[in-house]
C-alpha cells in the first residue's frame, strides 16, 4: 500500500479509538485491544490464562459466575487482503468463529497484520452463519479468489487448518467505507 494509504489508515484508527468511550468500551477492554496490537518479542501480547476455580464448584456454576469474553469488533487481515478491500476486489470475509459480534449496519475497523498503526473501515452489509461446505463460487469471488478451489487453498494457508466442509463459520459481507 502507498504511504498516503497508510496515513489514511492511521487517521481512521485514531478516529475509531476516539469513539470507544461513547460506545461504552471499558478501560479494561481498551487495554486488551491495545495489548493485541502491540508487537512483542514473540508477536502481539497474549492474554493471561484464567485461573480455574478451586473447591467443590461445579463447571456449570463456574460458567454462570464468569462473564463472557469480549470479542473485539474488529477484523484482522493480511496486507494483500487489505489492498483487495481498497481495490474493491474483496467484499466478504469468513471467520471460523460463531462468537463474532457484528451486525448489519455496523462500521468496524480492519487491522492489517503488518503491525503498522492502521485501520480500514468497513460497513457490514450481511452477516450469516453457515458451514464451509455451504460456500459457493460466488462467495469465493467475493473473498477475492478466482474460484472455490483457490479459496480453499487460501483458507488452508491462512487458517493453518484443513478444509472440513462441516466447520462452522461466520460470513461477513461488507462495503469499504475509507
Question: Which one is predicted more confidently, 13 or 138?
Answer: 138
Q: How far apart are CA 44 and CA 39, in angstroms?
A: 5
Instruction: Name residue, grid cell 450469516.
Output: 128
Question: Which one is predicted more confidently, 82 or 69?
Answer: 82
Work out the pLDDT band at 23, boundaries 50, 70, 90.
Answer: low
Is 70 a residue whose pLDDT tops 60?
Answer: no
Is 59 a residue whose pLDDT tops 60?
Answer: no
pTM for this predicted structure: 0.57
Work out the pLDDT band at 89, boundaries 50, 70, 90.
Answer: very high
Beta-carbon-side half-sphere exposure of residue 63 (alpha carbons within 13 Å): 3
Is 58 a residue whose pLDDT tops 70?
Answer: no
Is 141 a residue whose pLDDT tops 80?
Answer: yes
Report all structural domains of the chain as residue ranges with CATH numbers, in order of start: 3-39+57-176 (2.30.130.30)
Length of the chain in residues, anyone? 178
Strand, helix or coil at 115? coil
Strand, helix or coil at 69? coil
Amino acid at each position: 500500500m502507498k504511504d498516503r494509504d497508510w496515513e489514511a489508515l492511521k487517521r481512521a484508527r485514531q478516529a475509531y479509538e476516539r469513539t470507544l468511550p461513547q460506545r461504552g468500551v471499558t478501560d479494561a477492554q481498551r487495554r486488551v485491544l491495545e495489548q493485541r496490537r502491540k508487537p512483542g518479542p514473540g508477536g502481539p501480547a497474549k492474554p493471561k490464562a484464567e485461573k480455574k476455580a478451586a473447591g467443590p464448584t461445579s463447571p456449570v456454576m463456574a460458567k454462570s459466575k464468569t462473564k463472557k469474553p469480549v470479542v473485539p469488533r474488529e477484523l484482522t487481515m493480511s496486507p494483500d487482503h487489505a489492498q483487495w478491500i481498497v481495490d474493491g476486489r474483496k467484499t466478504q470475509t469468513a471467520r471460523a468463529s460463531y462468537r463474532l459480534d457484528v451486525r448489519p449496519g455496523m462500521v468496524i475497523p480492519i487491522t492489517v497484520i503488518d503491525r503498522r498503526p492502521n485501520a480500514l473501515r468497513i460497513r457490514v452489509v450481511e452477516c450469516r452463519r453457515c458451514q464451509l461446505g455451504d460456500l459457493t463460487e460466488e462467495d469465493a469471488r467475493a473473498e477475492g479468489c478466482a474460484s472455490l478451489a483457490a479459496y480453499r487453498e487460501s483458507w488452508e494457508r491462512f487458517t493453518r487448518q484443513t478444509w472440513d466442509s462441516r466447520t462452522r463459520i461466520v460470513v461477513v459481507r461488507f462495503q469499504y467505507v475509507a
